[in-house]
Amino acid sequence: MPKVSVKVKWGKELFPGVEVNTEDLPIVFKAQIFALTGVQPERQKVVCKGVTLRDDTWGNFALSNLELPEGLVNLGNTCYMNATVQCLKTVPELRNALLDYDQRGGTAGHLTSALSDTVQALEEGGAGRCAAAAAKLLHALHEAAPHLAERGAGGQLAQQDASECWTEIVRALRVRLTLPEPESKAFIEKYFGGTLDVELVCSEAQEPPTRSTETFLQLSCFISQDKMSEQITKMSETLGRDAVYTKTSKISRLPAYLTVQFVRFYYKEKESINAKILKDVKFPLDLDVYELCTPDLQERLTPMRNKFKAVLTHRGRSSSSGHYVAWVKRDKTWLRCDDDTVSPVTEEEVLKLSGGGDWHCAYLLLYGPRILELPEEDEPMVTEVIEDATGAPPTAQA
Active site residues: 79, 323
Distance CA 263, CA 249 (A): 18
State which amino acid sits at residue 97: A
**Residue of 58, 59, 64, 66 lying closest to 29 (CA atoms):** 58
CA 3 to each of CA 17, 87, 327: distance values in angstroms, whole numbers, following the listed order: 12, 31, 28
Torsion of CA 153, 313, 169, 333, to 10 degrees: 140
Residues 6+ apart with CB under 8 A from 105: none
Distance CA 266, CA 259 (A): 20
Contact 234, 246 (CB under 8 A): no
Distance CA 163, CA 24 (A): 50
Measure the CA angle with vertex 272, ends 266 and 277; round to 5°.
25
CB atoms within 10 A of CB 183: 10
Contact 3, 20 (CB under 8 A): yes
Cis peptide before 69 (omega within 30 of 0): no
Distance CA 172, CA 223 (A): 29
